[in-house]
Amino acid sequence: MDSQQEFVLRTVEERDIRFVRLWFTDILGYLKSVAVAPAELEGAFDDGIGFDGSAIEGFSRVSEADTLCLPDPSTFQILPFGRTDDNLAQARMFCDIAMPDGQPSYADPRQVLRRQVQAAAADGFTCNIHPEIEFFLVKSLDTDGHEPEPTDTGGYFDQAVHDDAPHFRSEAIHALEQMGIPVEFSHHETAPGQQEIDLRHADALTMADTIMTFRYLIKEVALQNHVRATFMPKPFADHAGSGMHTHISLFEGETNAFHNPDDEFNLSDTARQFIAGVVEHAPEISAVTNQWVNSYKRIVFGAEAPTAATWGVSNRSALVRVPTYRPGKVESRRVEVRNIDSACNPYLAYSVLLAAGLKGIREGYELPDPAEDDISSLTRRERRAMGYKDLPTSLDNALRLMEQSDLVADTLGEHVFEFFLRNKWREWNEYQRQITQWELRTNLDY
């Protein structure tokens, strides 16, 4: 037994923790959990906890149902609030999914990201990620298909005073920090009920785990405030959607590989090639970074959401934004990817994003001139005339591009790639069959 496992067992005993929740995600990013008693933990570390993988979306066929979840002791954290009747202390650990022979499961999103992290390491890089996570607070999720009612009427940076959950963000930040998740800052976003919380940077795998924890905690804190939280990309037709703008930097040892003091924009060749890779492959990875039918309502009709595969310096309409460099802050040189929404599977989204950037570095992609226009205000004809490649405008369009992508297939692996496509085509077909209120209002009297 290693020292991390011993620490977990000792902490569980000393803190009188009654249940440990073992967490993992399915291919679509839904959080799954199995609770074990403290007496079972040592066995879980040694042999894993068996479960029926065929019952988890996309994990395995019935003939391969036996699956193991192996707790990762480095992810152990005590949950900030109990959910049992007598408020017993609980903790959580993320798990790696394995086959009965101990080999990593080809269906485990965490393993997909680990492969990309290892690929980056083989090239000499470590990857730091810092997301800005947006979401909505609404009064209820039980709306029978109608728009929800936001908890406030605030706007950008407004101070909450009279809304339905005035202390929500402070309570949410306290819960996050109790679980070792450092927050940079938070504020009210542009739309009524919309919030943003920015997390301090961490390595890619840790950050994906953190985002899953973040979603869980945000929803729990909302419940305690008698409201609800939703990470749906665009729940309101007349307001901006929720993105997850992601800041990325690569390091070689202790050196920021994106920084070059002699460049016009302080960008190294590595940074330029990484950006070029993301811009070049953005359309074909969009089905993963923006995985829902609703995601494209945000991209096509939302404010500050990119509509074309471009990059720019401090240009918030570009797909990749290079923040203004602050002299003396070499370690902060980074790029911001702005198409990702907060309803993605973070393991898969960061996998394809990292793969696209690394491909640009390995193959020496050339970076075009930065976009200086407000791209969202340009017509499609104007964008094409300026050489900008449009991002997909629907899940249908995104899936067609993904189907042709060797990059996405290689990154996700055959099983995840095929299941993801089958599931998302089913979602698109179900969406297409709907007869909307707009159609009835517009066409019924024809």
Is residue 4, in this structure, part of any structural domain at all?
A: no
How far is Cα of residue 218 from the mean position of the Cα atoms in its chain? 14
Separation of alpha carbons 84 and 130, rounded Å: 33
Q: Where are the alpha helices (DSSP H) in 193-266?
A: 204-224
What's residue 376's pLDDT?
76
* Domain CATH for 222: 3.30.590.10
Partner residues linked to 267 by β-bridges? 259
Instruction: Looking at the structure, tell me whether residues 88 and 164 fall in a common domain.
Output: no
Tens of each residue's pLDDT in the chain, 446 residues: 689 999 999 999 999 898 999 999 999 999 999 889 999 999 999 888 887 666 566 554 433 456 889 999 999 999 997 655 566 889 999 999 998 888 888 889 999 999 999 999 999 999 999 999 999 999 999 998 889 999 988 776 666 655 777 788 889 999 999 999 999 988 888 889 999 999 999 999 999 999 999 999 999 999 999 999 999 999 999 999 999 999 999 999 999 999 998 898 899 999 999 999 999 999 999 999 999 999 999 988 766 789 899 999 988 889 999 987 666 677 778 999 999 999 999 999 999 999 999 999 999 999 998 988 888 777 778 888 888 889 999 999 999 999 999 999 999 999 999 999 999 999 999 999 999 999 999 999 99
Q: Are residues 182 and 249 in the same domain?
A: yes
Judged on CB neighbours under 10 Å (0-12, 13-18, 19+), 31 is middle
Q: How far is the C-alpha of 287 from the C-alpha of 225, rounded, in Å?
A: 34
DSSP 3-state assignment of 347?
A: helix
Residues with Cβ < 8 Å from 379, sequence gap 6 or more? none
Q: Residue 321's closest CA among 262, 270, 278, 363? A: 278
| Positive/negative CA dihedral, 72, 76, 80, 82 | positive
Phi, psi dihedrals of residue 82, rounded to the nearest 5°: -85, 150
Question: Is the same domain home to 305 and 410?
Answer: yes
Is there a domain that residue 8 lies in?
no
Contact 176, 217 (CB under 8 A): yes
- CATH of residue 81's domain is 3.10.20.70
Q: HSE-up of 234 (CA within 13 Å, CB side)? A: 22
Residues 184 and 49 in one domain: no
Quickly tell me which residue has 């085509």 as its tokens: 425
Tokens of 79: 């949950």
Whether residue 103 sits in one domain with residue 139: no
Going by the DSSP 8-state scheme, the letter that residue 58 receives in this structure is T
What the block records as the tokens of 306 is 């990119």
Range of the domain at 73: 17-107
Q: CA of 11: how far to CAs of 3, 36, 39, in Å?
A: 12, 15, 13
> 228-230 and 126-138: which strand pairing?
antiparallel
Indicate whether 171 belongs to any domain: yes
| Residue 135 · residue 211 · CB < 8 Å | no
On whether both 175 and 89 belong to a single domain, the answer is: no
Quick one: pLDDT at residue 65?
Answer: 54
| CB distance 354 to 120 below 8 Å | yes
- Residue 126 in tokens: 């470590």
Give the residue from 107, 141, 165 where a domain finishes.
107
Out of 107, 140, 159, a domain closes at 107
Residue 23 CB partners (closer than 8 Å, separation 6+): 31, 32, 33, 92, 93, 94, 95, 212
Q: Where are the beta strands (DSSP E) in 288-377?
A: 308-309, 311-313, 320-322, 335-337
Q: Would residue 66 count as lying in a domain? A: yes
Measured CA to CA in angstroms, residue 352 lies from 1, 44, 297, 345, 355 at distances of 34, 31, 22, 11, 5
Point out the domain boundary residue: 72, 107, 142: 107
Q: Check whether residue 274 and residue 184 sit in a common domain.
A: yes
Whether residues 85 and 175 fall in one domain: no
Q: Is the pTM of this model over 0.75?
A: yes
In a domain, 5, yes or no: no
Specify whether 253 is located in the same domain as 370: yes
How much is the pLDDT for 294?
96
Closest listed residue to residue 58, CA positions, set 413, 348, 415, 396:
415
Q: How many domains does the chain have?
A: 2
Rounded Cα–Cα distance for residues 222 and 247 (Å): 26
Three-state SS at 280:
helix
Q: Which residue bears the tokens 């839904």?
A: 30
Backbone angles phi, psi at 309, to 5 degrees: -80, 90
Residue 235 falls within a domain, yes or no? yes
- Tell whether 235 and 144 lie within a shared domain: yes
pLDDT given for residue 398 in this prediction: 98
Q: What are phi and psi of 155, to 5 degrees?
A: -130, -165
- Residue 29 falls within a domain, yes or no? yes
Evaluate whether residue 22 is within a structural domain: yes
Clarify whether residues 251 and 321 are in a common domain. Answer: yes
Instruction: Indicate whether 170 and 310 sit together in one domain.
Output: yes
